[in-house]
Homo-oligomer: A and B are copies of this chain.
């Protein structure tokens, strides 16, 4: 098999851990697999580099920040290659640019546009283990770019696609993907497998184990992902197109996002193009809007509610002041003390009972639902922040997620 492995910053946090990763890689290699390894910067390196730049100015040039930050992964690949070589196998480390990773010409959050796999293929054919720096690439002007959040996961998946790998293993400090947050719901269960779409919803909804960019890329190129822990040999969770093992599961997981704030605009004139103007003005200010709910209760005016992340609340409120004047709305409200609890499952499509079960479970605990939004494979509810844990527990119980093989569609 041709296996791509990705190790995060905690997994390569010091010399001892780097040696541990090297042993894991070499063991797989000696089983006869072709190996490509993607690594992040060691532990606190990224923070240390940012601190250095801040000592010079509070507003460093994005191009130069990418030049600076990309050294973190470069240190990791060199050290890991040194550790692998000391165990015997031939190995070569490659920076993102050397690995042929091309990106957009946008600094600090570039997207991968293409991978020239010629050197990767040549090194694999020469029998070498390849160690690649995650999170970075080269844009058309020959400058180093970084990929922003989730960049190293995305590097691993994109490389796996570029060399047609059989499997992409994402090593983290948790054992895999759980039915819900084990710190909140004690009988949360680790999933053996999950579909790309389910993983995407979970990732978007706040389960930090795998970045949605990486999942999207894996889905497009149909690369199976194995999310597992770098500190033990337990099997983790396989993310793939269809999950035979749990086909009968309607609901796969329950997730919660507390980094959310709710905003509402009252008395928006009910005219074509008004919603466009509202969200265009937010988008122009680079504010990501998540859930949007509009209801037309009264004649001629609408109320529009939406959610943003808490760190964008202040900027959103400033924008709303302008929006109200421009569109002629009557007022606005906001609430930062909310949480979004979601039920996710590829099987809920065509099963109308799931929504009712969700709302019923919350009602039984006297949890009031503020906003509702649904997709084919997800039901999200905005509730009071303080009731999030209670909601997660009751939903996890109601859909019997602690039991692996149950059909929970008709519980």
Is there a chain B Cβ closer than 8 Å to A375's Cβ?
A: no
Measured as residues with beta carbon below 8 angstroms from the partner, the interface class of chain A is 35 or more
Q: How far is the CA of A241 from the CA of B85 in the complex (A)?
A: 48
Is there a chain B Cβ closer than 8 Å to A67's Cβ?
A: yes
Majority secondary structure, A binding face: helix
Q: How far is the CA of A243 from the CA of B137 in the complex (A)?
A: 49
- Stretch touching chain B among A55-63, A171-179, A189-197, A301-309: A55-63
Min Cβ gap A45→B in Å is: 10
Question: Contact between A57 and B82 (Cβ–Cβ < 8 Å)?
Answer: yes
Given A56-B19, A83-B56: A93 and B75 interface contact (C-beta under 8 Å): no
Min Cβ gap A236→B in Å is: 27
Question: Contact between B71 and A74 (Cβ–Cβ < 8 Å)?
Answer: yes
Total copies of this chain within the assembly: 2
What residues of chain B lie closer than 8 Å to A57, measured between beta carbons?
A: 82-83, 85-86
**A binding-site residues for B, Cβ under 8 Å:** 15, 18-19, 49, 52-53, 55-57, 59-61, 63-65, 67-68, 70-71, 74-75, 77-79, 81-83, 85-86, 91-93, 95, 98, 119, 142-144
Given A19-B56, A52-B75, A56-B19: A81 and B67 interface contact (C-beta under 8 Å): yes
Question: From A93, which residue of chain B is reached at the shortest CB distance?
Answer: B67
Cβ-neighbour of A142 out of B65, B71, B98 (below 8 A) = B98
Q: How far is the CA of A119 from the CA of B95 in the complex (A)?
A: 21
Q: How far is the CA of A18 from the CA of B53 in the complex (A)?
A: 11
What residues of chain B lie closer than 8 Å to A61, measured between beta carbons?
A: 81-82, 85, 91
Min Cβ gap A201→B in Å is: 38
Min Cβ gap A58→B in Å is: 9
Min Cβ gap A212→B in Å is: 29
Given A15-B55, A75-B52: A82 and B65 interface contact (C-beta under 8 Å): yes
Cβ-neighbour of A86 out of B56, B63, B74 (below 8 A) = B56
What residues of chain B lie closer than 8 Å to A78, measured between beta carbons?
A: 53, 64-65, 67-68, 71
Question: Contact between B18 and A56 (Cβ–Cβ < 8 Å)?
Answer: yes
Write 25 A-B pairs (CB below 8 A) sorted by A numbering. A18-B56, A19-B56, A53-B78, A53-B82, A56-B79, A56-B83, A57-B82, A57-B86, A61-B81, A61-B82, A61-B91, A64-B78, A64-B79, A64-B85, A65-B78, A65-B82, A67-B77, A67-B78, A67-B81, A67-B93, A68-B74, A68-B75, A68-B79, A74-B74, A98-B142
Q: A57-B85, A67-B74, A71-B78 are in contact. List 10 more A-B contacts (CB 8 A).
A: A15-B55, A19-B56, A49-B75, A56-B86, A57-B82, A57-B86, A59-B86, A64-B93, A67-B81, A95-B144
What residues of chain B lie closer than 8 Å to A83, measured between beta carbons?
A: 56-57
Min Cβ gap A141→B in Å is: 9
Cβ-neighbour of A64 out of B19, B68, B81, B144 (below 8 A) = B81
